[in-house]
Amino acid sequence: MSAAKHSQAMHFQARAGEKVRNPVLQRALQKAKPLFVGKRAKGVAALADDGLDFELLRTTCEGIRNRTLADLDVWLDIFEERAKATGAEVLWARDGEEVSRLVVDIAHRHGVTKAAKSKSMLSEEAHLNEALAAAGIRPVETDLGEYIVQLAGETPSHIIAPAVHKTIEEVEALFAKEHGRPIETRTSADIPDMTREAREVLRQHFLTAEMGISGANFLIAETGTAALVTNEGNGRMVTTLPKVHVVVTGIEKIVPTLEDFATLMRLLPRSATGQSISNYVSLLTGTKREGDHDGPEKTVFILVDNGRANLLGSAYQDMLRCIRCGACMNHCPVYFSLGGHAYGWVYPGPMGSVLTPLYTGIENALDLPHASTGCNQCGSVCPVRIPLPTLMHRLREEQVERGLRPWSERLALQAWAWIAGKPLLYRWFARRAARYLNWLADGEGRIRILGLAPEWTAGRDLPVAGRQTFHELYAARKRA
Amino acid sequence: MSAKDEILGRVRRGVGKDDFAGRRAAAVASLIDTGRGPQPVMAGNLAERFRLKAESLSSTVTAVVRREDAPAAVAAYLAANGLGLQAVVTPDVGRLDWAAGGLQVEPRSALDADKVGISGSFCAIAETGTLMLLSGPETPATVSLLPETHVALVNVSRIVATMEDAFALLRAERGSLPRAVNFISGPSRTGDIEQTIVLGAHGPCRVHLILIG
């Protein structure tokens, strides 16, 4: 798979250790978590004020997504036909490299030297910015968080808050360098000024870019429309001012009707930021019309597969319901211990632990399905009820079935299976092990440092079971 | 094989159903009677609800009785906030007597230098305090986007309950979608530096609503 070559997911353990020990990152994450969780909880609770039942809405949204996926070939066909009827061009891309090739080609045909981008995670899958730069076209990220991340030469660490890992001092250093001014001491009271500074710089890019690139939160089949949800207004800028607008989006993003879209909008912003609605919701259909003063003269949809179609009809189809709200990572204890970069590819958190192995190859992301406490916080907040922990379990099972686990683990499990299949031997071992562990615990009921695996007991003690094994207790009771 | 054929082939295998033509006809038929999901139940009148929600999203609101009173209300708002008396207006509201209110307006699409943009609105949504604007020759989208201050005129009779109601109005009056339908809910905002909310990211820093009727 071409996506695998950019993935760092195989280095998860090493990166995770690094992130846990990074005090700056830890400070940024600890500050963000309660905000994300609190805002969503408030937003969801507010539904009841209008007599709306969150669980019923979830079921409805799950149903809309399932209905679309069940006949996705049909909905894609209807979308393409209707989008074309509005004057848009519709192209298809098998993978990220094809996305980049198509976008660069469109840029060359229209004499584009600069492309203003609204946030698109799919363009991260495609490494589109690198491809544009290599072709002599300057990509400018315009979402404030994406802009910060681009200046730092990094990738987003969160799908809706790309710079959540950055502190104000780091942002100030990046702005000072890019905007050609000395570094100043900044406190949170200066954040409006810093935002203003970025606004002024980026405004000039909006006005001069010949191409706007955006993703789409949804594609509406009924009308051949791209729906874009933003708070900053950069989505409106890049789809209104440049003469060419390219929408890069996954084939699974389709919903049938405007009404389905309205239903999903009751949960998407709430699940993401707790807002009842995002500041700007734009429905973009076709190109500049007769008599219009603004809008792109050329609109191109690039519908991308990059591993999605293979999930249809598979044990992982549920994942295609995902509407990219980010609630799963916002509620994940593992995500908030590590931040997004540890996950090594485009999507972090529970969403990434499922998508990365599926899109880049199960063998290329062995740790990610294990990067879970199994708490199911992600599954319980998902607005489209994706059973994320179940999907992670399935991926773990597949690792075992395909012999992808490390030899030590396989050997240990084989040894255990061999012993467990022989009752007398099993009892003998269990008795010895219970006595040995109790001897190690030295009457305290817990082991402070486990000799064979000291890392397990680095931050906690191992509680020890009783001296008697289950079989011994059972036999004793039967006698009594 | 083209990318399209290859991708659709994979999708079709994944979907695992035949009779494409039959399923497609059924899907198209299902678009005609568009069902709604769960709808909110909102107490009180829609205009009041709209106003409260809009204010909670950091918009400000003035109410006037007649459409002719709008220019004076806009002028008063601009003067009170020291925002000058020049504005770009969408041509659909350009025929109001802005000069009588002391404003100098130009009906056209907006430029970077414009400080104040005045627009009408197609309708407004009470559930979320949201404006619905359509792009068009008389309603250029830039007016509600580029200036730092956006003033929108909202007819109380055009306040509907939900986004679904707004779509119903659009279907009834226009039939098809314009190039851009913009739902606007207050000034633009960002929380990308340390999750601190700042108003005025890329779009307007201020949104003022004139409720008419």
- In order of start, what are the domains of chain B with their CATH numbers? 3-32 (no CATH), 46-212 (3.40.50.10420)
Rounded distance, CA A421 to CA B16, Å?
41
Name every chain A residue with its beta carbon within 8 A of the beta carbon of B202: 142, 199, 202-203, 206, 232-234, 236-237
Query: What proportions of chain A, in percent to the nearest 5, are helix, strand and coil?
Result: 55, 10, 35
Mean pLDDT value of segment B61-83: 97
Per the CB < 8 A criterion, the answer to whether A147 and A198 are in contact is yes
Mean pLDDT value of segment B62-66: 97
Name every chain A residue with its beta carbon within 8 A of the beta carbon of B181: 282-283, 285
pLDDT averaged over chain A?
95
Shortest CA gap A94–chain B (Å): 6
- Structure confidence at residue A444 (pLDDT): 82
Q: Which of residues 76-95 of B touch A (CB under 8 A)?
A: none
In chain A, the percentage of residues whose pLDDT exceeds 90 is 86
CA gyration radius, chain B = 21
Name every chain B residue with its beta carbon within 8 A of the beta carbon of A265: 163
Rounded distance, CA A336 to CA B10, Å?
36
Tell whether B106 lies on the interface with A, counting CB pairs under 8 A. no
pLDDT averaged over chain B?
96
- Structure confidence at residue A210 (pLDDT): 98
Rounded distance, CA B187 to CA A232, Å?
9
CB contact under 8 A, B13 and A313: yes
- The SS3 call for residue B71 is helix
- The sheet carrying A218-220 orders its strands as A254-255, A218-220, A225-230, A280-284, B180-184, B130-134, B123-125, B159-160
Rounded distance, CA A304 to CA A101, Å?
12
- Structure confidence at residue A2 (pLDDT): 58
CB contact under 8 A, B179 and A277: no
The helix (H) or strand (E) run that includes residue B190 is strand B189-190
Minimal Cβ distance to B31: which of A257, A284, A292: A257
Residues B5-38: pLDDT tens digits? 999 999 999 999 999 999 999 999 999 887 999 9
- Structure confidence at residue A3 (pLDDT): 64
Rounded distance, CA A380 to CA A369, Å?
18
Instruction: Report the residue of chain B nearest A158, measured CA to CA.
Output: B192
Query: What pTM was computed for the model?
Result: 0.94
Per the CB < 8 A criterion, the answer to whether B145 and A236 are in contact is yes
Interface test with B, best of A140, A187, A195 (most B CBs within 10 A): A195
Query: Could you give the C-alpha distances from B42 to A58, B51, B168, B185, in angstroms and in order?
Result: 20, 13, 18, 18
CB contact under 8 A, B141 and A60: no
Per the CB < 8 A criterion, the answer to whether A320 and A308 are in contact is yes
Q: Which of residues 34-53 of B touch A (CB under 8 A)?
A: 34-38, 40-42, 53
As for the ipTM of the complex, it is 0.98
Interface test with A, best of B11, B92, B149 (most A CBs within 10 A): B11
**Closest residue by Cα to residue A18 from A382, A476, A338:** A338
Q: Between β-strands B180-184 and B130-134, what pairing exists: parallel, antiparallel or unpaired?
A: antiparallel
Return the structure tokens found at B137: 């020759």
Q: Please count the other Cβ atoms lying within 10 Å of the Cβ belonging to residue A203.
A: 15
Q: Between β-strands A218-220 and A225-230, what pairing exists: parallel, antiparallel or unpaired?
A: antiparallel
Tell whether B32 lies on the interface with A, counting CB pairs under 8 A. no
- Structure confidence at residue B101 (pLDDT): 87
Instruction: Report the residue of chain A nearest B8, measured CA to CA.
Output: A73
Residues A332-359: pLDDT tens digits? 999 999 999 999 999 999 999 999 999 9
**Closest residue by Cα to residue A160 from A278, A58, A287, A75:** A278
pLDDT classification of A379: cutoffs 50, 70, 90? very high
Interface test with B, best of A24, A35, A50 (most B CBs within 10 A): A50
CB contact under 8 A, B202 and A283: no
Rounded distance, CA A15 to CA A371, Å?
12
Name every chain A residue with its beta carbon within 8 A of the beta carbon of B167: 258-259, 262
Shortest CA gap A86–chain B (Å): 9
Q: A394 exposed, middle or buried (CB, 10 Å; 0-12, 13-18, 19+)?
A: middle
The helix (H) or strand (E) run that includes residue A220 is strand A218-220
Interface test with A, best of B190, B199, B205, B206 (most A CBs within 10 A): B190
Q: A443 exposed, middle or buried (CB, 10 Å; 0-12, 13-18, 19+)?
A: exposed
CB contact under 8 A, A143 and B192: yes
A344: left (phi over 0), alpha (psi -120 to 50) or beta: left
Mean pLDDT value of segment A280-286: 98
Minimal Cβ distance to A195: which of B34, B183, B193: B193
Q: Please count the other Cβ atoms lying within 10 Å of the Cβ belonging to residue A24.
A: 12
CB contact under 8 A, B182 and A282: yes
Amino acid at B52: L
Instruction: Report the residue of chain A nearest B186, measured CA to CA.
Output: A279
Per the CB < 8 A criterion, the answer to whether A56 and B38 are in contact is yes
Instruction: Report the residue of chain B nearest A167, measured CA to CA.
Output: B194
- Structure confidence at residue A273 (pLDDT): 95
Residue of A7 and B124 predicted with greater confidence = B124
**Closest residue by Cα to residue B130 from A195, A278, A143:** A278
